[in-house]
């Protein structure tokens, strides 16, 4: 079994926040890939299904972002899931909007959800970094991530989580490169290509 974790904060007041795009991604996977109804388990909300012939548990921790590791650890221990079979979807300030990067391990870049998970279960899980852009001033980052996406951003957000959901079977089969490529191709086709930053390569 694989464990797909979306990071965010629980409650309707946070549901549209940039910090909650991980929740949005796994919600869309559940809806478009025929997963079971969500139910309360593992200090979170979970849903079960199959992607690419692999059994997958979707998890949204309801511990608040800073304590996400408690929920992830509980689910991973219950099903005896290895770190390499855990995929975490989270917002990424250092990527342009409508871009993703997939990698195993690495730093947490100040992300409290990742920090909590790494502290409790280890660091060598797969991360799907979902670009939300940077406000340009580190002093307003907290307010930026805890504010809702602007109306002008709704188009690319919807296209991105749709593309993530549609191509999630590739991720379940550990074909991270194809997953990342197909998501970006879908965004390009929808007219939401992310602008490249100076010196940035097409693919990492």
* Residues annotated as part of the active site: 19
The 86-92 sheet, strands edge to edge:
39-41, 44-51, 54-61, 2-6, 86-92, 126-131, 100-104
Are 62 and 10 contacting, i.e. CB atoms less than 8 angstroms apart?
Answer: yes
170's tokens? 């590739």
């Amino acid at each position: 079994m694989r464990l797909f974790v979306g990071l965010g904060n629980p409650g309707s007041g946070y549901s549209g926040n940039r910090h909650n795009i991980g929740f949005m991604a796994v919600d869309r996977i559940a809806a478009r890939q025929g997963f079971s109804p969500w139910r309360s388990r593992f200090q979170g909300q979970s849903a079960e299904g199959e992607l690419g012939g692999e059994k997958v548990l979707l998890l949204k921790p309801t511990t608040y972002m800073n304590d996400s590791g408690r929920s992830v650890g509980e689910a991973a221990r219950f099903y005896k899931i290895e770190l390499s079979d855990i995929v975490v979807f989270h917002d990424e300030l250092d990527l342009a909007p409508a871009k993703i990067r997939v990698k195993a391990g690495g730093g947490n870049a100040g992300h409290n959800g990742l920090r909590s998970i790494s502290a409790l279960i280890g660091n060598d899980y797969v991360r799907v970094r979902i670009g939300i852009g940077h406000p340009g001033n580190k002093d307003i980052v907290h307010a930026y991530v805890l504010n809702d996406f602007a109306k002008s951003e709704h188009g690319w957000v919807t296209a991105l989580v749709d593309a993530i959901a549609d191509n999630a079977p590739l991720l379940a089969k550990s074909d991270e490169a194809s997953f990342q490529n197909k998501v970006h191709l879908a965004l390009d086709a929808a007219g939401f290509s992310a602008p490249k930053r100076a010196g940035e390569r097409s693919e990492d």
